[in-house]
Amino acid sequence: MIVLDTPADTHALGVALGGRLRAGDLVILTGALGAGKTALTKGIAEGMGVTGLVASPTFVLARVHHPATPDGTTLVHVDAYRLGGAPELDDLDLDTDLTAAAVVIEWGDGIAEQLADDRLTVELTRLPDDRRTAVLTGAGAGWDRRLRDLLG
């Protein structure tokens, strides 16, 4: 478990994670409202070097952020809060995006796991003193090494 004392710490974790993401990666963010999912995603976007304003795509469901450099990776940011389950998520055709982009899904716990055997789940919790905690759980062989590298 990582303790995130400030919003800047949440952002910094996202930057570090984003710097390690590549096309084909699936990151599922879980946590209550205000836990820091969008703040973490903003950091991920910065770490990936993508362009455009990163905001929660609650009403549009998904936003595509293109890399600033030709050799960068595209970020697809999804908010599954309003989706009724896995069939509606499947309608977004994210399995196609997973071949060409890194996909970050807020509120994806319980519905997005079927998209990829290899994935990272980040569970964010807001504590009573307004600090956050993050628990990172990788599924698939590739995430063990990457998490060791990320967490030192």
Provide the pLDDT for residue 122.
97
pLDDT, position 39: 93
pLDDT given at position 40: 95
List, for residues 102-135, the tens digit of each pLDDT value. Answer: 999 887 778 777 778 889 999 999 999 999 999 9
- Half-sphere exposure of 48 toward its Cβ, with a 13 Å CA cutoff? 31
pLDDT in tens, 52-111: 877 765 555 677 888 888 889 999 888 876 555 554 555 555 555 567 899 998 877 787
The pLDDT value recorded for residue 37 is 92
Residue 5 banded pLDDT, cuts 50, 70, 90: very high
Residue 81's pLDDT is what? Answer: 61
Spatial contact of 128 and 142, defined as CB atoms under 8 Å apart: no
At 90 the pLDDT is 52
Domain ranges of the chain: 2-151
Alpha-carbon distance values, 6 to 10, 36, 39, 50, 133 (Å): 7, 10, 11, 24, 10
Asked if residue 4 has pLDDT above 90, the reply is yes
Q: 10 pLDDT exceeds 80?
A: yes
Asked if the model's pLDDT at residue 22 lies above 70, the reply is yes
Please tell me the class of the 2-151 domain.
alpha beta
